[in-house]
């Protein structure tokens, strides 16, 4: 055998073993034997440079020549998939497809949705010619030298039957084990760790020195093929053919005949995904037939013949870059974590809440730590833990701020409270803005002003406290950006309107700490005027239903401050409702679910007043006594037949006075 023949034979043998090892995960020879073959080939190629071949397995080690990536246009755009999160949406997808295909039978293929970086590979005459990243979907980076180092991607195709020219797409991933190993190595060498396998794969693919890429544990799963003269009209069948050509096609893909099969697949992998050696973030459902795929077509962004069902990732790991301190309406200081962006439940997360200083201490958190974040019910995710194993050598202990970042006032922390507060209630900008926004909000005075406009008025110096709303003049507004004649008129009008807001809403609007809507309603209903509330004692306050010590103290504290009393004076001067209007009783739900029959003539109120009183406290008036009646309110001259009937049903007959007591004290 001459050298050329031996070289060709060695390449074939090594390619075969690479495939057995990296694609089939079934090695046939030992690492030692493999290394022997490789060494021989390297030697021969060195001695015979004229026989060099870029597709030789020896070339998978990459090159250390740095190169910028060239931008290349994709032959077919790389679309993304529509994401769904519920079975209903899958059902809707199925219905849509069936309708668009006029009831034709469809066969689906379900696959795992690999959580990595997508790649587009081009093959010509059985050789890998180009590898392009997704980029913006139309143009991507030419990363061919890097991709050639990935052992599970064939440089030379096996077998026969592949088209002269085609594209195959897939996902470059790093297994969880490969990722852990890689990060451990990085910690040893003092390099920053990657947050997750996907970031690690993406970062690796962008390295401009392919010999470094070759050292990383990249793998590639193929999921889509496009080209003329493919062996079959079926996606599934073509993927099987591609497997014979040497590509890694995961075994988890399945044909599904109906929606139930799809649901079963979704459920199965939701349960078992943690046992997979790599991460998935959902499953992909595709129509098998190319003919039907073509009929359905694509939208600008995604094919109509496929969707993704995403599993809810509720946790992610990322790096804590810095901490901001936000001052809220009440002066409470909330630390907010600035994070290296990470995907979580379908959105990119850059910030997460840290609650308070105690939590930071409890987690022993440091800047540059890798933290676990979690999405709960709130919009902003929270930091729930740290990855101590990944602690970075350059991590910095966190020292909670001592002074307000907004106004410089020294922060304080009440005993038993985890939060720090800025006490400068009337001089700290976010506190003032927060109070103004709260005051104008829908459930408070309902002035109908966007937060941004209020901030604009504050910044223009027109609003310093909530009483200033009522001193605003039209011509002041006209000087401001975005205000015209009409909008200025409207604002002045709605401010005027707001003066009529009932007392309970004003009490809520003041933004006294711990006084929400319900507490405001109860306190207003009990004391009935600002005067009465401001002179109430602690005992008076806690005597009100559902009002405890915290609220009572907060009220006492509020009314002990001269500036607050002056503010209320001003509001009163502007004509706001400082007491419960006698014709506007406070609503409660004390009679919720109770049915009343009213009968007879009453001493203190008219029948109509009694009826209203029941209704505004949540009760219902029914005309005749039945088993569903809860009470009969009886006045003078109630008919004996009615009395008899009430007795028969065992329904309590009550007086007007008793009804009042029910509303006051159930």
What does the alpha-carbon distance between residue 221 and residue 23 come to, in Å, rounded to a whole number?
9
Does the active-site annotation cover 4?
no
Residue 171 binding ligand IVH, by CB under 6 A: yes
Of the two residues 79 and 654, which places its CB atom closer to ligand IVH in the complex? 79
Structure token pair of residue 535: 């002179």
Of the two residues 134 and 438, which places its CB atom closer to ligand IVH in the complex? 134
- The helix (H) or strand (E) run that includes residue 459 is helix 451-459
Of the two residues 303 and 430, which places its CB atom closer to ligand IVH in the complex? 303
One character per residue 307-326, x = contact with ligand IVH (rule: CB under 6 A): -x------------------
Size of the site for ligand IVH (CB under 6 A): 15
Of the two residues 298 and 572, which places its CB atom closer to ligand IVH in the complex? 298
Candidate segments 106-114, 156-164, 447-455, 603-611, binder of ligand IVH by CB under 6 A:
106-114
Of the two residues 147 and 284, which places its CB atom closer to ligand IVH in the complex? 284
Distance in Å from the first CA to the final CA of the chain: 104
What does the alpha-carbon distance between residue 153 and residue 18 come to, in Å, rounded to a whole number?
10
Is residue 282 within 8 Å of 208, Cβ to Cβ?
no
Which residue do the tokens 């030992």 mark?
30
What does the alpha-carbon distance between residue 571 and residue 519 come to, in Å, rounded to a whole number?
21
Return the residue nearest ligand IVH (CB atom). Answer: 118
Of the two residues 220 and 491, which places its CB atom closer to ligand IVH in the complex? 220
Q: From the centroid of its chain, how far is CA 201? A: 24
Structure token pair of residue 330: 């009440």
Is residue 205 within 8 Å of 120, Cβ to Cβ?
no
Is residue 188 within 8 Å of 390, Cβ to Cβ?
no
One character per residue 464-503, x = contact with ligand IVH (rule: CB under 6 A): ----------------------------------------
Dihedral sign (CA 126, 130, 133, 135): negative
Residue 303 binding ligand IVH, by CB under 6 A: yes
SS3 of 112, please?
A: strand
Of the two residues 113 and 505, which places its CB atom closer to ligand IVH in the complex? 113
One character per residue 61-90, x = contact with ligand IVH (rule: CB under 6 A): ------------------xxx---------
Segment 112 to 131, residues that bind ligand IVH, using CB under 6 A = 113-114, 118
Dihedral sign (CA 253, 255, 259, 263): negative
CA angle 335, 551, 415 (to 5 degrees): 50
Segment 223 to 262, residues that bind ligand IVH, using CB under 6 A = 223-224
What does the alpha-carbon distance between residue 452 and residue 9 come to, in Å, rounded to a whole number?
73
* Catalytic, out of 52, 73, 99, 113: 113
CA angle 222, 217, 39 (to 5 degrees): 105
One character per residue 185-224, x = contact with ligand IVH (rule: CB under 6 A): --------------------------------------xx
Candidate segments 5-13, 111-119, 233-241, 574-582, binder of ligand IVH by CB under 6 A:
111-119
Q: No. of H helices and E strands in the chain?
A: 24, 23
CB of 98 to ligand IVH, least distance (A): 20
Catalytic residues: 113
Residues at the contact surface with ligand IVH, assessed by CB under 6 A: 79-81, 111, 113-114, 118, 134, 171, 223-224, 284, 303, 306, 308
């Amino acid at each position: 055998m001459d050298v050329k023949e031996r070289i060709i034979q060695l390449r074939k043998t090594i390619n075969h073993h690479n495939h057995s090892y990296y694609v089939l995960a079934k090695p046939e020879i030992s690492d030692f034997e493999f290394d022997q073959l490789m060494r021989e080939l390297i030697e021969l190629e060195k001695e015979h440079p004229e026989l060099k071949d870029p597709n030789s397995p020896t070339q998978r080690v990459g090159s250390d020549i740095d190169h910028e990536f060239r931008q290349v246009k994709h032959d077919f755009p790389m679309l993304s998939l529509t994401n769904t999160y519920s079975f209903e949406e899958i059902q809707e997808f199925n219905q849509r497809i069936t309708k668009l295909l006029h009831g034709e039978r469809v066969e689906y293929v379900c696959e795992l949705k690999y959580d990595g970086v997508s790649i587009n590979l081009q093959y010509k005459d059985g050789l890998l010619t180009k590898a392009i990243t997704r980029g913006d979907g139309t143009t991507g980076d030419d990363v061919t030298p890097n991709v050639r180092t990935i052992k599970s991607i064939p440089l030379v195709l096996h077998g026969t039957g592949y088209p002269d020219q085609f594209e195959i797409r897939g996902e470059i991933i790093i297994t969880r084990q490969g990722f852990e190993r890689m990060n451990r190595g990085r910690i040893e060498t003092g390099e920053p760790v990657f947050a997750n396998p996907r970031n690690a794969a993406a970062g690796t693919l962008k390295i401009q020195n392919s010999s470094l890429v070759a050292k990383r544990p990249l793998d590639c799963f193929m999921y889509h093929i496009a080209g003329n003269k493919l062996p079959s009209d079926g996606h599934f069948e073509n993927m099987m053919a591609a497997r014979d050509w040497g590509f890694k096609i995961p075994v988890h893909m399945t044909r599904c005949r109906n929606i139930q099969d799809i649901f079963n697949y979704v459920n199965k992998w939701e349960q078992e995904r943690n046992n997979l050696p790599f991460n998935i973030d959902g499953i992909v459902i595709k129509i098998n037939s190319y003919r039907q795929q073509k009929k359905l077509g694509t939208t600008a962004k995604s094919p109509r013949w496929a969707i993704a069902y995403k599993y809810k990732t509720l946790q992610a790991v990322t790096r804590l870059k810095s901490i901001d301190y936000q001052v809220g309406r009440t002066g409470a200081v909330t630390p907010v974590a600035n994070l290296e962006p990470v995907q979580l439940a379908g959105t990119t997360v850059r910030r997460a809440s840290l609650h308070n200083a105690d939590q930071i201490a409890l987690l022993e958190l440091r800047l540059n730590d890798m933290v676990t974040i979690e999405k709960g019910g709130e919009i902003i995710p929270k930091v729930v833990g740290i990855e101590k194993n990944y602690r970075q050598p350059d991590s910095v202990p966190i020292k909670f701020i001592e002074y307000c970042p907004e106004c410089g006032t020294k922060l304080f922390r009440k005993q038993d409270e985890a939060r720090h507060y800025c006490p400068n209630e009337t001089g700290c900008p976010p506190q003032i803005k927060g109070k103004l926004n709260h005051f104008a909000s829908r459930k408070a005075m309902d002035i109908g002003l966007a937060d941004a406009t209020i901030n604009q008025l504050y910044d223009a110096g027109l609003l310093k406290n909530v009483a200033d709303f009522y001193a605003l003049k039209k011509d002041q507004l006209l000087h401001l950006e975005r205000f015209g004649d009409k909008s200025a008129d409207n604002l002045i009008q709605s401010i005027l309107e707001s003066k009529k807001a009932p007392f309970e809403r004003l009490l809520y609007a003041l933004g006294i700490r711990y006084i929400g809507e319900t507490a405001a309603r109860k306190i207003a209903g009990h004391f009935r005027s600002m005067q009465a509330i401001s002179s109430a004692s602690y005992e008076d306050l806690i005597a009100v239903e559902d009002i405890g010590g915290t609220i009572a103290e907060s009220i006492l504290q509020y009314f002990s401050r001269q500036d607050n009393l002056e503010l209320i004076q001003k509001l009163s001067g502007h004509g706001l409702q400082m007491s419960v209007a006698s014709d506007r009783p406070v609503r409660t739900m004390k009679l919720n679910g109770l049915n009343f029959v009213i009968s007879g003539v009453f001493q203190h109120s008219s029948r109509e007043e009694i009826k209203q009183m029941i209704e505004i406290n949540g009760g219902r008036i029914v005309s005749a006594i039945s088993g569903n009646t809860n009470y009969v309110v009886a006045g003078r001259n109630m008919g004996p037949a009615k009395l008899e009937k009430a007795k028969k049903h065992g329904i309590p007959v009550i007086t007007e006075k008793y009804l009042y007591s029910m509303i006051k004290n159930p």
